[in-house]
Amino acid sequence: MAVGLGPLPVLHPVPGFELGIASAGIKRPGRKDIVLMRCAEGSTVTGVFTLNAFCAAPVILAKKRVLGSPRYLLTNTGNANAGTGEPGLAAAERTCARLAELAGVEQVQVLPFSTGVIGEPLPVEKIEAALPAALADLNENNWAAAASGIMTTDTLPKGASRQFQHEGVTVTVTGISKGAGMIKPNMATMLGYIATDAKVSQGVLQDLLRDAANKSFNRITIDGDTSTNDCCMLIATGQSSLPEITQASGTLFTALKQAVMEVSMELAQAIVRDGEGATKFVTVQVNGGATHQECLDVGYAVAHSPLIKTALFASDPNWGRILAAVGRAGVSQLDVSLIDVYLGDVCIASRGGRSPSYTEEQGSAVMAQAEIQIRIELGRGTASETIWTTDLSHEYVKINAEYRT
Amino acid sequence: MAVGLGPLPVLHPVPGFELGIASAGIKRPGRKDIVLMRCAEGSTVTGVFTLNAFCAAPVILAKKRVLGSPRYLLTNTGNANAGTGEPGLAAAERTCARLAELAGVEQVQVLPFSTGVIGEPLPVEKIEAALPAALADLNENNWAAAASGIMTTDTLPKGASRQFQHEGVTVTVTGISKGAGMIKPNMATMLGYIATDAKVSQGVLQDLLRDAANKSFNRITIDGDTSTNDCCMLIATGQSSLPEITQASGTLFTALKQAVMEVSMELAQAIVRDGEGATKFVTVQVNGGATHQECLDVGYAVAHSPLIKTALFASDPNWGRILAAVGRAGVSQLDVSLIDVYLGDVCIASRGGRSPSYTEEQGSAVMAQAEIQIRIELGRGTASETIWTTDLSHEYVKINAEYRT
């Protein structure tokens, strides 16, 4: 049911970044469930991780080790190694240690990532047995296979790629992601990996990833639940012949930032488009806020409202539900007489009530589309925020309630 | 589909409080859609109202007028008079003015309440035409008819009643409520009316209602959406021969508070039991918090999680989803190693992972029940909070998405 999501675009290889896929048979024999990534020596590696206090064992390890000199990212699907306590941590360490041994690096240079069933022991032996094949498969041209390899119940693989020229040198930014999938008994996990051959200092790369994630991965919501396993990694291999970027300024930095932003946004939106049971791709834009936070409060109140989400599913221009969500968002001293609400280009509400010019036909025409924008003008200031989400369909309930039957 | 909600209990009349029901034919000819309540002269009247900034016209008027000397509460169903701007305010004023004229009181002594379709003009003439019949019907024995009269798409009427003795005198507390119903294009509205024949000063009565509402009506959630029309009223007619309660202390106050609390709780829980599409009645209890706020944050994160609500619908003991919701509730410095989670009496998680003693069979047995308690022990302090909610079913999506078909 993915909304407006087509086949993978061309994913340009990133010099110094190789990917290898193998099968450990964690859930099913023969399934490609191991994705290994190798960063060239001297790469800069950064990550952003779930804020969930119950974060999974691999997240605890990856967060700690990203500050060292990572060389390998080891991802398995089929088992999230979450809610597994101390034994889960030991299991993640064992797989990393085995890979380090085979690859001739330090154990702390391997970062683990897991997605899948929670609360079940990680099948360490199966993963260890698949590592030689994953290492043998390492190749710069494996992005598309890796995009499929990290999928759980995603219906389509997700990838994005950009190239730009700087002083005659081509710089590449390529990434893959996986989104909200549900495996018994499980929760949604988002994983993202983006690599570039630019050379970037640790501090600049970390800020760049944080900015990009804040405008993309941190602005999407399917159902408001945050996974225990969410991670997004940004790797700069430094294989390009251009000089190192050590400051967040200059034309090279600006071009790189633009490319990373675009790749992040495309990957994040792909996750929403392939959201569980999604039949609509919804952009909630809040303008005219006194602060960014109040724009986000209003945006999330709208994006998380089950009443609005079911109306979107039904293609019903139920503007009253949107006003009610704006009104309960907790914005202090909200003057409803200043607020305008638009569905697409149609003004549905102004000055606290239905817009005089609005007709049900206009609203229905917008709601019938697969991609819908809800725009809220608060009239309080200059801050803006945009959030992407989906509708709430029968299929969502079915996927999340009935997977046993 | 109401969970554990039977026929109305005996609703004892409250001396000095009369109810009259009539038909204005707002949505359908012949439907009883007007409920009028008359408070004896000298009654103390208090109310708590929706915090939604987009509150409806009747709420704006009732909030203002409750501070005067209200004598009549005029409720209509079938039209919420919300999102109607200035004309809506004028319409509400007109119906109150007409009633005041017929009843021989000041216009500001009439408080309006509306629930039903939003964004459509209030049919003032129809309501005015029904007022004489409503006045003629006023009677202390009309509670049950009024409980049915305020229903929208509630499947059952909701009422509760308590009596207690003080120095040989019987004191009565009786109330009715209506809950989450959906009428095109509409949102859930909660209305509650509780009356007692005790004599209580304004300040004490206001605090009593606030306390009672905070522990009952403000602790229930179906889908996290707050209506534009929510109101709960508490009326003390003072017809009892007992002395006026002017302080929040003493045996009479304590007995009255207990009765008001019990009636509020029964009415609030009845709303959840009759929640849209509800197949489960769920109690979320959070103990051991450092503050009440963090208990509420955790409780609502659990109660609003679509992943948990769909698992409840499926009777699936998906403890990982509960841990994930606790973990993302935004409690600062949450030490997951101190947290225990119980489903009923079964410890499902302890020290950040699955409880060693837990078996899927134990969890499934609890989840198969229609009434389920989720108890979370934070291990940080002594604060506790309890929230009541429902599951998220196919029927919820159907009611809220497909009522046009």
Q: Is B389 left (phi over 0), alpha (psi -120 to 50) or beta?
A: beta
Nearest residue of A to residue B399, measured between CA atoms? A310
Of B225, B331, B398, the CB nearest to A305: B225
- Chain A residues whose CB is inside 8 A of the B54 CB are 323-324, 326-327, 336, 352
- Same domain? For B207 and B333 the reply is no
- Same domain? For A244 and A114 the reply is yes
Specify the pLDDT at position B22: 98
pLDDT digits (tens, 9 = 90+) for A387-404: 999 888 888 777 777 643
- Same domain? For A242 and A168 the reply is yes
Which two structure tokens, joined as six digits, stand for A388? 């992407």
Mutate to test the interface with A, among B229, B304, B323, B395 (most CBs of A within 10 A): B323
Rounded Cα distance between A299 and A372, Å, is 14
User: What mean pLDDT is predicted for residues A179-208?
Assistant: 78
The percent helix, strand, coil of chain B (3-state, each to 5) is 35, 25, 40
Mutate to test the interface with A, among B187, B218, B304, B354 (most CBs of A within 10 A): B187
Of A250-259, B206-215, B316-325, least confident by mean pLDDT is B316-325
With respect to residue B313, please indicate whether it lies within any of the assigned structural domains.
yes
Q: Which residues pair with A367 in a beta bridge?
A: none
Residues of A at the annotated binding site?
152, 178, 189, 276, 400, 405
Beta-strand pair A340-343/A281-289: unpaired
8 Å CB contact of A316 and B397:
no
pLDDT digits (tens, 9 = 90+) for A10-54: 999 999 999 999 999 998 899 999 999 999 999 999 999 887 878
Tell whether the model's pLDDT for residue A182 goes beyond 80: no
Of B119, B327, B402, the CB nearest to A320: B119
8 Å CB contact of B354 and A83:
yes
Mutate to test the interface with A, among B49, B50, B54, B218 (most CBs of A within 10 A): B54
Rounded Cα distance between A53 and B335, Å, is 8
- Same domain? For B113 and B254 the reply is yes
Tell whether the model's pLDDT for residue B188 goes beyond 90: no
- Chain A residues whose CB is inside 8 A of the B189 CB are none
Of A36-50, A216-230, B362-376, least confident by mean pLDDT is A216-230
- Chain A residues whose CB is inside 8 A of the B119 CB are 319-320, 353-354
- Same domain? For B304 and B367 the reply is yes
Specify the pLDDT at position B226: 62
Give A300 or A51, the one with higher predicted confidence: A300
Band (pLDDT 50/70/90 cuts) for residue A1 is: low
Specify the pLDDT at position B402: 61
Domain at A90, CATH number:
3.60.70.12
Specify the pLDDT at position B112: 97
Backbone angles phi, psi at B165, to 5 degrees: -105, 140
> At B129, which helix (H) or strand (E)?
helix B124-137
Q: Which residues of A are catalytic?
A: 189
The last residue of one of the domains, among A254, A273, A292, is: A273
- Chain A residues whose CB is inside 8 A of the B313 CB are 397, 401
Q: Which residues pair with A285 in a beta bridge?
A: A375, A386
Of A130-134, A255-259, B1-5, least confident by mean pLDDT is B1-5
pLDDT digits (tens, 9 = 90+) for A266-283: 999 898 888 878 899 999
Q: Does residue B359 have a known ligand-binding role?
A: no
- Same domain? For A231 and A296 the reply is no
Q: Give the burial class of A27: count Cβ atoms within 10 A of its Cβ; 0-12 exposed, 13-18 middle, 19 or more buried.
A: middle
Q: Chain A: give the shortest CA distance to residue B382, in Å.
A: 21
User: What mean pLDDT is predicted for residues A136-149?
Assistant: 97
Specify the pLDDT at position B404: 39
DSSP for residue B345: T
With respect to residue A309, please indicate whether it lies within any of the assigned structural domains.
yes
Of A184-198, A323-337, B80-94, B183-197, least confident by mean pLDDT is B183-197
Give B154 or A380, the one with higher predicted confidence: A380
- Chain B residues whose CB is inside 8 A of the A187 CB are 307, 320-321, 324
Q: Chain A: give the shortest CA distance to residue B341, in Å.
A: 12
The last residue of one of the domains, among A273, A303, A325, is: A273
> At A64, which helix (H) or strand (E)?
helix A57-65
- Chain B residues whose CB is inside 8 A of the A84 CB are 353-354
User: What mean pLDDT is predicted for residues B148-164?
Assistant: 93
8 Å CB contact of A85 and B353:
yes
Backbone angles phi, psi at B265, to 5 degrees: -65, -45
- Chain A residues whose CB is inside 8 A of the B121 CB are none
8 Å CB contact of B305 and A225:
yes
Which of the residue ranges A43-52, A380-389, B94-103 has the most confident prediction, judged by mean pLDDT? B94-103
Nearest residue of B to residue A185, measured between CA atoms? B318
Give the amino acid at A89.
L
Report the number of distinct structural domains present in chain A: 2
Band (pLDDT 50/70/90 cuts) for residue B309 is: confident
- Same domain? For A309 and A267 the reply is no
- Same domain? For B373 and B259 the reply is no
Residues of A at the annotated binding site for substrate?
152, 178, 189, 276, 400, 405
User: What mean pLDDT is predicted for residues A344-361?
Assistant: 88
Tell whether the model's pLDDT for residue A317 goes beyond 90: no
Q: Does residue B400 have a known ligand-binding role?
A: yes
Q: Chain B: give the shortest CA distance to residue A209, in Å.
A: 22
Q: Does residue B371 have a known ligand-binding role?
A: no
Tell whether the model's pLDDT for residue B262 goes beyond 60: yes
Backbone angles phi, psi at B142, to 5 degrees: -100, 15
Q: Does residue B276 have a known ligand-binding role?
A: yes
Mutate to test the interface with A, among B328, B331, B340 (most CBs of A within 10 A): B328
Provide the mean pLDDT of chain B.
90
- Same domain? For A221 and A155 the reply is yes
- Same domain? For B66 and B181 the reply is yes
Nearest residue of A to residue B335, measured between CA atoms? A53
Rounded Cα distance between A208 and A199, Å, is 13
Backbone angles phi, psi at A115, to 5 degrees: -150, 140
Tell whether the model's pLDDT for residue B180 goes beyond 70: no
HSE (CB half, 13 Å, CA atoms) of B343?
29
3-state secondary structure of A282: strand
Domain at B307, CATH number:
3.10.20.340
Of B52, B351, B354, the CB nearest to A119: B354
- Chain A residues whose CB is inside 8 A of the B319 CB are 83, 119, 185
Tell whether the model's pLDDT for residue B74 goes beyond 90: yes
Instruction: Write down the residue that tokens 């992943």 correspond to.
Output: B307
Specify the pLDDT at position B224: 61
Specify the pLDDT at position A354: 84
Tell whether the model's pLDDT for residue A3 goes beyond 90: no
Mutate to test the interface with B, among A318, A336, A354 (most CBs of B within 10 A): A318
Q: Does residue B152 have a known ligand-binding role?
A: yes
Give the amino acid at B209.
L
Instruction: Write down the residue that tokens 């501070």 correspond to.
Output: B67
Q: Chain B: give the shortest CA distance to residue A274, in Å.
A: 17
Of B55, B327, B392, the CB nearest to A53: B327
Q: Please state, for a pLDDT cut of 70, what percent of chain A lies above it.
A: 95
Give A151 or B328, the one with higher predicted confidence: A151
With respect to residue B11, please indicate whether it lies within any of the assigned structural domains.
no
Rounded Cα distance between A121 and A99, Å, is 19
8 Å CB contact of B306 and A54:
no
pLDDT digits (tens, 9 = 90+) for B9-53: 999 999 999 999 999 999 889 999 999 999 999 999 999 988 787
Nearest residue of B to residue A80, measured between CA atoms? B320
Specify the pLDDT at position A185: 34
Of A51, A306, A394, the CB nearest to B328: A51
Residue of B229, B281, B239, B242 lying closest to B387 (CA atoms):
B281
Q: Look at chain A and count its residues.
A: 405
Q: Chain B: give the shortest CA distance to residue A53, in Å.
A: 4
Which residue range forms the structural domain that includes residue A351?
A: 281-401
Q: Which residues of B are catalytic?
A: 189
User: What mean pLDDT is predicted for residues B281-302?
Assistant: 95
Band (pLDDT 50/70/90 cuts) for residue B64 is: very high
- Same domain? For B217 and B320 the reply is no
Band (pLDDT 50/70/90 cuts) for residue B154 is: confident
Question: Which string of DSSP letters, residue by residue, matches B133-186?
Answer: HHHHH-BTT-HHHHHHHT-SS-SS-EEEEEEEEETTEEEEEEEEEE-----SS-
With respect to residue B6, please indicate whether it lies within any of the assigned structural domains.
no
Question: Which string of DSSP letters, residue by residue, matches B226-263?
Answer: --SS-EEEEEE---SSSPPB-SS-SHHHHHHHHHHHHH
- Same domain? For B120 and B195 the reply is yes
Q: Chain B: give the shortest CA distance to residue A104, in Å.
A: 34
- Chain B residues whose CB is inside 8 A of the A310 CB are 396-397, 400-401
With respect to residue A335, please indicate whether it lies within any of the assigned structural domains.
yes
User: What mean pLDDT is predicted for residues A310-330?
Assistant: 86
Contact between A197 and A240 under an 8 Å Cβ cutoff? The reply is yes
Backbone angles phi, psi at A281, to 5 degrees: -110, 115
Tell whether the model's pLDDT for residue B403 goes beyond 60: no
Virtual torsion, Cα A366, A368, A372, A376, nearest 10 deg = 50
Specify the pLDDT at position A53: 79
8 Å CB contact of A321 and B187:
yes
Of A82, A228, A353, the CB nearest to B85: A353
HSE (CB half, 13 Å, CA atoms) of A119?
24
Cα–Cα distance list, B382 to B94, B212, B214, B284, B301 (Å)? 51, 21, 19, 16, 20
Specify the pLDDT at position A372: 95
Give B279 or B226, the one with higher predicted confidence: B279
Q: Please state, for a pLDDT cut of 90, what percent of chain B lies above it.
A: 65
HSE (CB half, 13 Å, CA atoms) of A330?
9
8 Å CB contact of B324 and A351:
no
With respect to residue A259, please indicate whether it lies within any of the assigned structural domains.
yes
Rounded Cα distance between B229 and B212, Å, is 19
With respect to residue B3, please indicate whether it lies within any of the assigned structural domains.
no
Q: How many CB pairs under 8 A join A and B?
A: 196
With respect to residue B28, please indicate whether it lies within any of the assigned structural domains.
yes
8 Å CB contact of B349 and A396:
no
8 Å CB contact of B306 and A351:
no
Contact between B378 and B295 under an 8 Å Cβ cutoff? The reply is yes
The last residue of one of the domains, among A205, A239, A273, is: A273
Give B108 or A321, the one with higher predicted confidence: B108
